[in-house]
Structure 1
Amino acid sequence: MLKNPKVSVAICTYNGAKFIKSQLESVINQTYKNTEIIIIDDKSIDDTVEICRSYIDNRIFLSVNEQNLGYTKNFEKAIMQCSGKYICLCDQDDIWNLNKIEILVDEIGNNELIYHDSDFIDNDGAKITMPTMAERYHMYQGNNPLPFLLFNCISGHASMFKSDLIKYLLPFDKRFFHDWWLAYVAVNVGSIKFINKVLVNYRQHTDSITDNLSLKPTLKNKGKRVKIDLDWLEKIAKFDYNKQPMLISKAFSIFKTLLMGKGRWRAFIFIVSYYDELFYIANRKRKSLISKINFARKLSLSNKSLL
């Protein structure tokens, strides 16, 4: 194994002047020194570019888009400019523990992707008295793609992956979160590892792309507990490197038919058979067989669908 491999940090910015300095300081001052920092600004109209430009040196690179690409395509562009053996994705408003990269490099082993737990902070950088990410989701590690059909527990800010994944990963589809796609690709191409350490203070505010603490206004749909994204299922069913292509295609077909109000018994059998994998991320506590059957019955056989 290459000793002290280069790690690329891909940072995407857009109107992040309020927080970018703290984030950059936490990345630049990592205990792991063999890094390059790729900053792609998505045509900010505040002082973000000027702040980033003040940090440029022989390992920090800044590029400003001529037109706004949106965060998904901006991360795609940033990844394409990375030259390290490993790549870390970085938001503009978090704060990294100074030993984050060192720990991830030491722990990744033969896995394609490694990720960690995160704490939550508010606008002012104060800790939010809420459970950590790992206390909210059942963090998955291994090489089974089924847990990522309906849910995702891997955030881009918490991930480091091998650059070998790029040929399977890109281009990103703007319809879907890039980190969910990253997780799905990694678990099919190889395996993923979770380390139960908080290595990032993950900032939550009303302008965040993701909304883990439900700080943004939402429309509440009573009775809807599971969201089946058929576009997502169709996307992953067409992935050329699926470990279980027949099973993933079957899942897409079953849920598509179920949403049409058909194939209920077929869906019931499938959900019961693969319950532990399909709902691994959502269920932090083990369910009894009776609970699984009852849930599958409500989901697939009830006249009032929970989908």
Structure 2
Amino acid sequence: MSDGARVSVCMATYNGSRYVRHQLLSILAELEPDDEVVVVDDASTDDTVAVVEGVGDPRVRVHVQPVNGGYVRAFESALQRASGDVLLLADQDDEWVPGRRAALVAAVRHAGVAASNLVVLGTGEPLRSPWSGRPWRLHSRASGHRLRNELRILAGDAPYFGCAMAIRRDALALVLPFPAFLDESHDLWIATLANRGRLLRHVDEATVRRRLHDANASSAQPRGIRPALRSRILLLRALGEAGRRLRASRSRATR
């Protein structure tokens, strides 16, 4: 039964021909006839674009970047091109869990951004925290724990993954454009903004099966000291930019 929302799935691809067809088929099985999949290919050097086009579904639209600009800008472009009421992010190499669309559409009816859990494809197990080694999960009861959520983000111990996120259209004006300094962790930017703006809702169930392989753009493993320090500085800048945008939005609303 239709829920009345038109969904846009926003995917960035780059040299993903090995897994992208499987992912697209798992997505399309979830979608309604009026939904769309917006794929932005980041100048792949393999046959990713041909594989995507070969799926042969009119709901899939492909836009090819002339030069490689990185996955953050590819996702930004996909979000900008989307026309749906609810925008679901998707990586090129995972698998959607049946019921994902319904769960996330329901969640964003009460929030601007929803973030669900995920499990590992093949095992069904959650990822493990890179610091404690315990199962890495979001809990719906902690959706409004803004300080705790932000501290977890800054510490690198918050399992916010873009592939498990949804954005309601009226929140997109805050999310976009991505900050110019953002060259990684677009998902943590979205989570930071939504958390600070009281727009974030956690979804207890896992809606994605994440494929782990040596070419994943994000890793659950701790990084070296220098990359980790750079990442923390980037996230502090993101926190500041989120505050600036939210203040500007409130100011416009009171005029």
**Which TM-score applies when normalising by structure 1?**
0.67
Match of 1:127 in 2: 123
Q: How far apart are 1:31 and its partner, in Å?
A: 5.5
Structure 1 residues 47 and 136: CA distance shift in structure 2, 3 A: same
Match of 1:142 in 2: 144
Q: Structure 1 stretch 6-15 or stretch 27-36: which is displaced more?
A: 27-36
Output the amino acid matched with 1:234.
R
Q: How far apart are 1:178 and its partner, in Å?
A: 0.4
Q: How far apart are 1:137 and its partner, in Å?
A: 4.3
Q: How far apart are 1:40 and its partner, in Å?
A: 0.8
Deviation by residue 1:180-235 (Cα, 9 ceiling, x = unmatched) = 010111223342212211221111111101111x3x9x5479xxx99982343134
Q: Distance in 2 between matches of 1:197 and 1:148?
A: 21
Relative contact order higher in (CA < 8 Å, ≥ 6 apart): 2
Match of 2:251 in 1: none
Deviation by residue 1:81-104 (Cα, 9 ceiling, x = unmatched) = 000011001000000013210222
2:161 to 151, 155, 161: 155
Tell which structure's C-alpha radius of gyration is larger: 1
Structure 1 residues 73 and 8: CA distance shift in structure 2, 3 A: same
**Which TM-score applies when normalising by structure 2?**
0.80
Match of 1:303 in 2: none
Correspondence 1:31-110 to 2 at 5 A: 32-110=32-110
Q: Is the 8 A contact 1:32 1:102 kept in 2?
A: no
Q: Distance in 1 between matches of 2:229 and 2:138?
A: 16
Q: Is the 8 A contact 2:76 2:177 kept in 1?
A: yes
Instruction: List gaps (5 residues or longer) in structure 2.
Output: 248-255
Q: Distance in 2 between matches of 1:44 and 1:226?
A: 30
Deviation by residue 1:152-203 (Cα, 9 ceiling, x = unmatched) = 3311010111112221112224334100010111223342212211221111
Q: Distance in 2 between matches of 1:182 and 1:170?
A: 9
Q: Name the SS of the counterpart of 1:135 in structure 2.
A: coil
Percentage of identical aligned residues: 24
Q: How far apart are 1:18 and its partner, in Å?
A: 0.7
Q: Is the 8 A contact 1:8 1:35 kept in 2?
A: yes
- Deviation beyond 6 Å, 4+ runs, structure 1: 225-228
Structure 1 residues 98 and 44: CA distance shift in structure 2, 3 A: same
Structure 1 residues 185 and 49: CA distance shift in structure 2, 3 A: same
Q: Is the 8 A contact 1:141 1:194 kept in 2?
A: yes
Q: Is the 8 A contact 2:138 2:204 kept in 1?
A: no
Q: Name the SS of the counterpart of 1:78 in structure 2.
A: helix
Q: Distance in 1 between matches of 2:163 and 2:239?
A: 22
Q: Distance in 1 between matches of 2:183 and 2:60?
A: 30
Q: Distance in 1 between matches of 2:237 and 2:187?
A: 17
Number of equivalences: 232
CA RMSD, Structure 1 to Structure 2 (Å): 2.9
